[in-house]
Every structure is written in C-alpha cells, then in structure tokens.
Amino acid sequence: MRKFKGEKLFYGLDLGVQTLKASLVRTQDANNLELLGVHEVKTVGLKGSAVSDLNELSDCIQRAVQGLVAKTGHKVKSLNIGMGGDLVTIRESSSVIPLVDHGNKVISAQDIKKVKEQARLLGVHLEEEILHDFPKYFKVDDVNTAINPSGLYGRKLSGSFLLVITNMTRLRNIAKAVNQAGFELGHAYFSSYAASQVALDQKARMDGVAFIDVGSTSTAVLIFKDGLLQHIELIPWGGVNVTQSIAGQLSLVLDLAEDIKKSHAIAQKTSTDNEEEILVKRENGYMPIKRAGISQAIGPEVDKFVEHVQKVIKGSSFYQSLNAGIVMVGGGSLLPGLIERIEEATNLKVTTGVPTNGLNNSVVYAGVIGLAQMSSINSINLTMNAQVSKNWTARLSNSFKELYQEYF
C-alpha cells in the first residue's frame, strides 16, 4: 500500500467479550483521516470482566492484528486499546482548593491541575486506575460556574469531574497479553468514548446529544452538552441478550440464533398470530420457524432495553436540552425497528452514527476506528519505560507565566 510523506498510522484494538476488533487509520492532519482496514475475530481468553487465559487472549490479539496486516500491508508495533462497559466503572468526583487567604488571585493552569489531581485522588481506590477524567464544570468562590476558569479572579476553586476507572490488575493482565502477542501498548481508552469521537460532530456535542453504544453484553449511554461529556450510564444489556433469548425459546445453538437475529429479528411489536415461516438450516436439513415465534422470543428483551434507555434519557437533568436528539452505534443498533421504538419511548429524534472526518463503517466499528485515531487525548500511557522528551525552554516560560499570575 502506498505511503505518503508526513502520514501517521494509528492502530486500535477494541476488547469485547464477544468479539475483538483491530483497525488502522492513516492521517496527515486532524481533518484528513482515512480508514485503511478493520479485522474482527471471536474473543477467547477474556471472560466476563477478567482475563481467563493469558495465552488464549494473546493468540486472539495476534490473529486479529495479523488479519489487519494481511488486509493493509502495514506492520503493527503499537496498539491503542479500548475497554468496554464490562471492563470499566463510572464515578463522579469533586474537589476544592483555596487560592489565597486574603484578596483575590488570577486562576492559573497550575491551580486547575491541582483541583483535577485532588479529585482524582479522592475518586479512585487503591486497586484502581483512571482511564479518563472529564471535567464537568468548575466553580469560583462557589458562585461563578465556568467551563474554563483560567484567568478569572477568585479566592477558592472547585471542580466536578466524571471519572472512567478500571481495575489495575485487569489492566496489567491485558497489557501483558498484548506484549506477549508481540506489540507495545500506546494508550488505553473507554471504547464508547472513542466511538463518540467518530460518530458525533462538534455541533451535536454543543447542542446536546445522547450517544448510545450498543455492545455485545452492555450498552453505554453518554450525554454531551456544551461540548463536554456530562454523564455516562452503563446498561447491563447488549445484543447477546437477544441472541440468547432466541436460542432458548426456539431450542437453537447460539451461532444459528445469531444468524436468525441478524436476518429476521425485528424490534417492532408484531402480531403473534403471524403464520409466515422461514427455513432455517439444521444439521439434518431445514427446519421451518414462524416469524411470530421469533417476535415472541425477542419481545421481552427488546422491551427491557427500551425501558432502560427511556429511564436513563428521561431521568437525566439534560433531557430537555438534548437538541441533537439521540445517536446510536454498535451492531445492536441496526436491529430493525429499534430506532423507532426508542424514538417513541423518549420523544426524541434517533439516528445511527454517521461518519465524520471521511471515515466509513462508523455504526458497527465506531469504537475501534475511534481508538485508532485517538492518539493525543488524556489517557494512560501504558508503554513501559517510555521517555517523553520535553522542551526545557517551554517549561521555563510556562513557569514564569504561572509565577507572574500567582503574585500579580
């Protein structure tokens, strides 16, 4: 594959309980992104929210990346990994610091950093690691609410943050599996947040939007307003719930139930006396199944999901401000009739995620595409012994600026 001068390549690895996806994005600048390839394999070695077999997971990662290499022709050295709702915990944390004993001072970047660091310390347990710390708002002297308080006068500064947290042991085991597969780790991200960066534009995040990422075993709801991530809710429901319901009700193996879900399942309520039949291939030939039976099998699960979403969206303090409605991604979002059901339940316009920055396949692969392009946001650098060079003159200049603001 042709290489262009000045291009940069970013690789993403989305760790799902059911599937593991690898992707490659090429970029020359922030507005010129190109998806070069995606490869997906069935996940093994990861059970629930923990690594169950290190060797199996390592081999699985290697197969996914090798499949991507075969498609794109580019070798992989470092991967950005994504952790879904099964692997993270969402928590809010706030902190407050005094600025001066008497009078006022100009709030500096160092003051904001202190508030953030204190909120991180207060919001995390000993065995946990923070993937993201999203600022919701700051308050100056408990009166002036600001998105960015830098440069304002005040005596006291407080901040509220939304933390995305994972278990430290779990993260280390995943890192070890990636290293054992022959790759370095770049950064770890919350995969649903990465997906939102692909499927949402800045206007939607400013206007107010609920972003729903339907995963295999869980669904994440992210609410944006004024350009900031204001709320995250994890729903213990995913596409596998529908598959398992079809398998259980119709006495089918999971792989066949998954095929039926993708080909014939409909989220809209249908008549239970529908006698139309479809032919399903079995070991000994074909078996007829009534569409009404499929509808009855998935009905309770779809109802449960719609009720969950309705509760989260309408229960949010931002419900009346969601001017951009709801945007959905993930394979489960493509279930026919599901968008209409959620529109009816929430009274909001619902759409599937559309590509931004020229990327395609964003509905199904938004998470892993987002992981590949997220190279510089605030997250954990997992590369062992990585040395980040800093320009000492720039540091000295910033120190003088903050010292000036501190006393003048």
Domain identity same for 139 and 249:
no
Q: Which residues, at least 6 apart from 169, have a Cβ–Cβ distance to it below 8 Å? A: 127
Whole-Å CA distances, 337 to 295, 302, 306, 332, 334: 12, 10, 11, 11, 8
Domain boundary (140, 167, 194) is at 167
Compute the average pLDDT of residues 86-102.
Answer: 91
Q: Say if 186 falls within a structural domain.
A: no
Q: Say if 146 falls within a structural domain.
A: yes
Is residue 29 pLDDT above 70, yes or no? no
Domain identity same for 163 and 239:
no
Domain identity same for 150 and 257:
no
What is the pTM for the complete model shown? 0.86
Angle at 198 between CA 116 and CA 186, to 5 degrees: 60
Domain identity same for 238 and 146:
no
Domain identity same for 163 and 272:
no
Domain identity same for 238 and 154:
no
Q: Say if 267 falls within a structural domain.
A: yes
Q: Say if 119 falls within a structural domain.
A: yes
Q: Say if 188 falls within a structural domain.
A: no
Q: Say if 176 falls within a structural domain.
A: no
Domain boundary (121, 145, 167) is at 167
Q: Which domain holds residue 273?
A: 234-352
Q: Say if 141 falls within a structural domain.
A: yes
Q: Which residues of 392-402 are buried (b: 16+ CB within 10 A; e: fewer)?
A: eeeeeeeeeee
398 band by pLDDT with thresholds 50, 70 and 90: low
Could you tell me what percent of the chain has a pLDDT over 90? 55
Domain identity same for 151 and 244:
no
395 band by pLDDT with thresholds 50, 70 and 90: very low
pLDDT in the model for residue 363:
82
pLDDT in the model for residue 375:
59
Distance CA 243, CA 57 (A): 24
Domain identity same for 244 and 347:
yes
CATH code: domain of residue 304: 3.30.420.40
Compute the average pLDDT of residues 281-292.
Answer: 77
Angle at 156 between CA 224 and CA 228, to 5 degrees: 10
pLDDT in the model for residue 69:
93
Domain identity same for 247 and 329:
yes
Domain identity same for 247 and 348:
yes
Is residue 125 pLDDT above 50, yes or no? yes
CATH code: domain of residue 105: 3.30.1490.110
Q: What is the pLDDT of residues 355-388, one digit of tens each?
A: 555 555 668 888 888 888 775 343 333 333 343 3
Residue 331: both structure tokens together? 């394979």
Domain identity same for 270 and 163:
no
Higher pLDDT, 68 or 285: 68
Could you tell me what percent of the chain has a pLDDT over 70? 85
The residues with which 249 forms a beta bridge, in sequence order, are none
Domain boundary (352, 373, 398) is at 352
Is residue 405 pLDDT above 70, yes or no? no
Q: What is the pLDDT of residues 177-235, one digit of tens each?
A: 999 999 998 889 999 999 998 889 899 999 999 999 999 899 999 999 999 999 999 99
Q: Give how many domains the chain has, as a whole number.
A: 2
Angle, nearest 10°, between helix axes 109-123 and 392-407? Answer: 100
Domain identity same for 345 and 256:
yes
Compute the average pLDDT of residues 61-68.
Answer: 94
Q: Say if 131 falls within a structural domain.
A: yes
